[in-house]
Each structure stands twice: as structure tokens, then as C-alpha cells.
Structure 1
Amino acid sequence: MSIKDRLVIFDTTLRDGEQSPGASMTRDEKVRIAKMLEKMRVDVIEAGFAIASPGDFESVRAGCRSH
């Protein structure tokens, strides 16, 4: 099966989920969400923009290490 014959799920929850005013997630919440997305077999998880801040960097790193 070629890539054009399959559906690829690309999730941006961890990056876009905090773009609404007043919305935020802790590092642990982001890790928990990443684990759920992995369990659901999401193909690509956009973890965030690590260079944006030390907190974002730590969240992305923690999500990568948890798997």
C-alpha cells in the first residue's frame, strides 16, 4: 500500500491547543495527551514549538522521552 492509498492522521493538539486565550496545559498534561494519541495510533504528533520558551522546550522533551 502506498502513502497515497492510506489516511495519515496528523494531530496538532499539543501545539494548537494553547492558542486560545486563557488555554494552557501543564507538562504532565501534555505528556498524558501525547501518550493517548500514541495509543490511538496517531501517525504524526506535532508536539509544539520547542524554541518558543523553556517551558515549551521541556514539554516537548518530556513527551519524546515518555515513549
Structure 2
Amino acid sequence: MTPGAVTDPLAAEAIWRTSNHSGGQGDCVEVAGNVADVVPVRDSKRPSGPVLAFRHEAWNAFLDRLR
């Protein structure tokens, strides 16, 4: 699966948390780790807005670059 918009049922099952890599200044990225096969990501300021879905491998590679 390539990054793209997540369907509503998938987003509805997601349990969101603020990413550890967010700056804490209101510009937060939220991720959900409980969804099988993908890591959903959204903007905390727009919880009903678009959601991106990343394969776990792609998300982990992204996090490795932040460290």
C-alpha cells in the first residue's frame, strides 16, 4: 500500500496519540498504532480531515531518519 487517504472505517477504528516527535507547540502529528497493516497519520488540528496511511516499513524508515 502506498501513502494515501484512509477510508472512514479504518480511521474510526484508530486509537490516536500524539507522536513523540511532535514539537509540543500545537503543530502535532497524531499516529495510531493499533491498525493492522498500516500506520495512520493525521494533523491534530484537523482530526476529521485527511489521514495518510503508511506501511510499517516506510514509517519506521521515516522515524529512523529523525533520530
Answer yes or no: same fold by TM over 0.5.
Answer: no
> Which structure has the bigger radius of gyration?
1
What is the TM-score of this pair, normalised by structure 2?
Answer: 0.31
Relative to its length, the structure with more strand (as a share) is: 2
Relative to its length, the structure with more helix (as a share) is: 1
